[in-house]
């Protein structure tokens, strides 16, 4: 299997954590999102993912899967242990809700192509773009996640779940953009704890072969 990703991509980071938690290996192929005007927009990559987004997972038979949560769902189905979705149906729904809050409601508003569109065609200043980023990552975003999570070491239950897999990369992003999240105490504790686990640590952007 080949995972097309980018070291700083939080969506690819989610998939790397899932692979590591399941003890699976995958060949990584770097798609540089900035170099050459963005390698994700070149015809050879668009043939793999017509959305021009990473990650994409190429299976051994050549099938391509896109969308990080769909890829993780595929891994969960094919390699069910250890589980990334809690067995308890209520906890499972809560873990999915946190994952979807991040993947559907926070991340798309702050994605590279959205920020570039604000700066380019819409002519907004860097200050406007920074304010946009800060607003959408906090309001109804990580501040809501802070209220939703129930665990102390992980978002829900005693094991890392899809919620943690989505949370840790989003926290990395927030810090990278120098967003003050120090008031989010539960998130800070879960982030600290997860980053001590080898599966999370090895998935960190700084550990990737394509890291700048
Ligand atoms: N919903 C998609 C989001 C994928 C996505 O937005 N990836 C970003 C990197 S985190 C990307 O490829 N951005 C390229 C761009 O904005 O041009 C998923 O979860 O896989």
> For ligand 1, atom 20, which residue shows the shortest CA distance?
67
Q: DSSP for 132-187?
A: HHHHHHIIIIIHHHHHH---SSSSSTTS--HHHHHHHHHHHHHHHTT---TT-HHH
Model confidence at 48: pLDDT above 90: yes
Q: Is 116 touching ligand 1 by the criterion CB < 6 Å?
A: no
b/e per residue, 17-34, with b = 16+ CB within 10 A? bbbbbbeeebebbbbebe
Residues 109-123: pLDDT tens digits? 999 999 999 999 999
State the Cα–Cα distance between residues 120 and 166, nearest whole angstrom: 29
Choosing from 8, 10, 35, 111 the residue with most ligand 1 atoms within 8 A of its CB, the one to mutate for a pocket test is: 111
Ramachandran angles phi, psi of 209, nearest 5°? -60, -25
> Could you tell me whether strands 27-30 and 2-5 are parallel, antiparallel, or unpaired per DSSP bridges?
parallel
Given this model, what pLDDT does residue 212 score?
Answer: 86
Given this model, what pLDDT does residue 105 score?
Answer: 96
Q: Give the distance (Å) from ligand 1 centre to CA of residue 211.
A: 17
Q: Is 103 touching ligand 1 by the criterion CB < 6 Å?
A: yes
Q: Give the distance (Å) from ligand 1 centre to CA of residue 111.
A: 7
Choosing from 3, 11, 64, 166 the residue with most ligand 1 atoms within 8 A of its CB, the one to mutate for a pocket test is: 11
Residues 142-186: pLDDT tens digits? 999 999 999 999 999 999 999 999 999 999 999 999 999 999 999
Residues 65-108: pLDDT tens digits? 999 999 999 999 999 999 999 999 999 999 999 999 999 999 99
What is the spatial order of strands in the sheet that 64-66 belongs to? Answer: 27-30, 2-5, 56-58, 64-66
Q: Is 113 touching ligand 1 by the criterion CB < 6 Å?
A: yes
Tell me how many degrees the CA angle 192-133-35 measures, rounded to the nearest 5.
Answer: 90
pTM for the whole thing?
0.97
Using alpha carbons, select from 76, 9, 81, 96 the residue that is nearest to residue 45: 9
Given this model, what pLDDT does residue 108 score?
Answer: 97
Q: Is 68 touching ligand 1 by the criterion CB < 6 Å?
A: yes
């Amino acid at each position: 299997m080949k995972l097309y990703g980018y070291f700083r991509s939080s969506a690819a980071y989610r998939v790397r954590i899932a692979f590591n938690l399941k003890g699976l290996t995958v060949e990584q192929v770097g798609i540089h999102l900035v170099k050459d005007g963005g390698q994700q927009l070149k015809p050879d990559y668009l043939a793999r993912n017509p959305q021009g987004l990473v990650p994409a997972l190429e299976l051994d038979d050549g099938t391509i899967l896109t969308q990080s949560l769909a890829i993780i769902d595929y891994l969960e189905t094919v390699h069910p242990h250890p589980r990334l979705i809690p067995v308890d149906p209520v906890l499972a729904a809560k873990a999915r809700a946190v994952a979807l809050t991040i993947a559907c409601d926070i991340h798309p508003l702050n994605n590279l192509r959205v920020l570039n569109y604000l700066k380019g065609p819409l002519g907004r200043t860097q200050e406007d773009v920074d304010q946009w980023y800060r607003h959408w990552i906090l309001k109804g975003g990580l501040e809501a996640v802070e209220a939703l999570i129930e665990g102390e070491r992980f978002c829900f239950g005693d094991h890392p779940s899809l919620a943690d897999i989505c949370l840790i990369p989003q926290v990395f992003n927030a810090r990278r953009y120098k967003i003050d999240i120090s008031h989010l105490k539960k998130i800070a504790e879960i982030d600290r704890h997860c980053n001590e686990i080898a599966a999370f640590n090895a998935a960190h952007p700084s550990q990737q072969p394509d890291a700048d």
